[in-house]
């Protein structure tokens, strides 16, 4: 075992106990990740008053995070697959955790310089680069340690931690914002992130030691115990056949759905606190910063189990992924289209809570498709796949701020423009279920793709 590349020391399947422990670990890590990410949107209105930002400035500062995040997605998955996600996550997590904790001091320093906006953008881009490694590395680790039947469910649960992180930041952040000011929220989230980094580092090191010990014991009895590891290493070393993947319509259909759905989510994620603050200034932040995210926590946790239930009932991967994603896109669009009729705080809260809840169904849809497309290269494919959603973070969020600036804070335009983008992938997803099902009952990809080693879909048990 010691002679095998370090990236593949831990390719053994997790036991049930290990699977639960790592699922909780990644749920907590993704929670900290998104708590860090949502801290600025929660504080944006207060920070804008202190630093003199207009809506375009706020949109630029919030969206520039995704400049670094998107660029990182392109390489993060490949790096995680090649060297091991465990090795990548430790230094990158520490980097964004420290940047989060030091954000107040760094922002104050920026305004002591002659080019404050440049330094603000630099800080946010650097934070985005650090966070960009998290999800592709997590996807790579989960893919290596679980069977095909478990990957989608576990990864979906891990992703649900993102929304719980928004609840944590929204709940505690609203209290900290009122009592101690916006700087305390960044320091609170930064400390949580550093604590998770220490826990992850301990867990990954102890896990590798345990697997190495078991592997060495088995190797004494049989040299064949190393063959699965060597075979997986050979498959990964072959590289991902990007040309074949990029030429397949299923990949692009899923990518378009990912892009449009993420655009709606990141627009709400970044701008909802400002929307409620502008339109309902007497409303309690702890309500509108928490309730919508509680709804998406529930549905995002339920969605993987709903998908597993459909699969176990005999539905194919194709039907399951497309049905869940189609419902998510359609319901989100309907909710955003009704925003113009919401004249009261509670009606607006209900509409956006339902919109966020609808988005949670995505975790049983295309969000877990990289595990279906390329089980042996999940990190690399997820990185490219997630880049489509990350692009909306800096385009959609910035455009929303630009629209608000031009329209004198007319929020209806923002949400209507966001909503009309959703029906196209939604209709495509729903309309093509039946004919695709008749041709390809086994999975999301066609027979030609299924014959390739890197994208063979294991049967769902």
- Looking at residue 436, what is its pLDDT? 36
Question: Is 50 exceeded by the pLDDT of residue 284?
Answer: yes
Q: List strand residue ranges (DSSP E) for 201-277, in order.
A: none
Model confidence over 50-101: pLDDT tens digits? 999 988 898 889 888 988 888 888 788 888 888 888 889 999 999 999 999 9
How many CA within 13 A on the CB side of residue 196? Answer: 31
- The domain limits of the chain are 15-455
Distance (Å, whole) CA 165 – CA 174 = 14
- Looking at residue 114, what is its pLDDT? 86
Distance (Å, whole) CA 127 – CA 133 = 11
Model confidence over 6-38: pLDDT tens digits? 434 445 677 788 888 899 999 999 999 999 999
Distance (Å, whole) CA 288 – CA 173 = 12
Q: Which segments of 84-112 does DSSP mark as H helices, in order?
A: 85-101, 103-110
- Looking at residue 336, what is its pLDDT? 93
Question: Is 60 exceeded by the pLDDT of residue 395?
Answer: yes
- Best CA proximity match to 72, nearest among 137, 152, 154: 137
- Looking at residue 151, what is its pLDDT? 76
What does the longest C-alpha to C-alpha distance in the chain come to? 74
SS (H, E, C) 363-423: HHCHHHHHHHHCHHHHHHHHHHHHHHHHHHHHHHHHHHHHHHHHCCCCHHHHHHHHHCCCH
Q: Tell me the Ramachandran region of residue 84: left when phi exceeds 0, alpha when psi lies from -120 to 50, beta otherwise.
A: left
How does DSSP classify residue 346? H
Q: Yes or no: say if 432 and 332 are a contact pair by the CB < 8 Å rule.
A: no
- Best CA proximity match to 269, nearest among 40, 28, 32, 26: 40
Question: Is 60 exceeded by the pLDDT of residue 264?
Answer: yes
- Looking at residue 213, what is its pLDDT? 58
Question: Is 50 exceeded by the pLDDT of residue 443?
Answer: no
* 15-455 is a CATH 1.20.1250.20 domain: yes
| Residues above pLDDT 90, as percent of the chain | 32
How does DSSP classify residue 281? T
Distance (Å, whole) CA 375 – CA 355 = 31
* 3 state DSSP class of 324: helix
- Looking at residue 420, what is its pLDDT? 87
Sign of torsion, CA 74 75 76 77?
positive
Can you tell me the mean pLDDT for 158-174? 88
- Looking at residue 19, what is its pLDDT? 85
- Best CA proximity match to 37, nearest among 192, 199, 141: 192
Q: Which residue has the tokens 């010990």?
A: 213
- Looking at residue 391, what is its pLDDT? 82
Q: Yes or no: say if 66 and 41 are a contact pair by the CB < 8 Å rule.
A: no
Q: In the numeric block, which tokens belong to residue 114?
A: 């002659």
Residue 212: pLDDT band (50, 70, 90) is low
Distance (Å, whole) CA 365 – CA 334 = 18
Q: Which segments of 52-181 does DSSP mark as H helices, in order?
A: 55-63, 65-83, 85-101, 103-110, 116-131, 134-145, 148-179
């Amino acid at each position: 075992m010691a002679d095998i590349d370090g990236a593949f020391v831990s390719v053994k399947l997790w036991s049930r106990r290990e699977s639960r422990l790592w699922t909780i670990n990644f749920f907590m890590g993704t929670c900290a990740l998104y708590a860090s990410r949502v801290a600025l949107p929660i504080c944006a209105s207060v920070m804008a008053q202190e630093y003199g930002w207009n809506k375009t400035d706020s949109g630029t500062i919030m969206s520039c995070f995704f400049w670094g995040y998107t660029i990182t997605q392109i390489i993060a998955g490949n790096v995680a697959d090649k060297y091991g996600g465990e090795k990548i996550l430790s230094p990158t997590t520490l980097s964004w955790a420290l940047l989060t904790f030091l954000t107040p001091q760094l922002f104050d320093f920026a305004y002591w310089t002659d080019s404050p906006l440049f330094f603000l953008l630099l800080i946010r881009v650097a934070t985005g680069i650090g966070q960009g490694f998290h999800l592709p590395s997590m996807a790579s680790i989960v893919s290596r340690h679980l069977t095909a039947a478990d990957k989608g469910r576990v990864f979906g649960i891990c992703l649900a931690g993102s929304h719980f992180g928004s609840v944590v930041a929204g709940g505690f952040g609203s209290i900290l914002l009122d009592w101690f000011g916006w700087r305390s929220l960044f320091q609170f989230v930064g400390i949580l992130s550093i604590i998770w980094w220490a826990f992850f580092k301990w867990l990954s090191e102890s896990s590798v030691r345990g697997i190495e010990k078991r592997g060495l014991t088995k190797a004494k009895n049989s040299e064949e115990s190393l063959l699965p590891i060597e075979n997986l290493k050979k498959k990964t070393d072959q590289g991902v056949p990007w040309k074949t993947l990029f030429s397949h319509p299923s990949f692009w259909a899923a990518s378009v759905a990912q892009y449009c759905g993420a655009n709606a989510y990141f627009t709400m994620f970044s701008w909802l606190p400002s929307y409620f603050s502008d339109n309902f200034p007497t409303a309690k932040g702890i309500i509108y910063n928490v309730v919508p995210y509680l709804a998406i926590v529930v549905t995002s946790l339920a969605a993987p189990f709903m998908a597993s239930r459909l699969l176990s009932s005999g539905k194919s991967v194709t039907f399951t992924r497309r049905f869940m994603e189609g419902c998510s896109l359609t319901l989100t669009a309907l909710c955003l289209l009704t925003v113009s009729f919401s004249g009261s705080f509670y009606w607006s809260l209900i509409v956006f809570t339902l919109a966020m809840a609808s988005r949670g169904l995505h975790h049983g849809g295309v969000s877990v498709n990289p595990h279906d497309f390329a089980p042996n290269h999940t990190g690399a494919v997820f990185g490219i796949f997630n880049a489509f959603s990350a692009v909306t973070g800096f385009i959609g969020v910035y455009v929303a701020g630009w629209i608000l600036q031009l329209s004198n804070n007319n929020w209806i335009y923002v949400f209507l423009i966001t909503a009309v983008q959703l029906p196209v992938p939604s209709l495509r997803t729903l309309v093509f279920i039946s004919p695709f099902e008749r041709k390809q009952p086994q999975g999301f990809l066609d027979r030609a793709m299924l014959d390739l080693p890197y994208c063979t879909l294991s049967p769902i048990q």
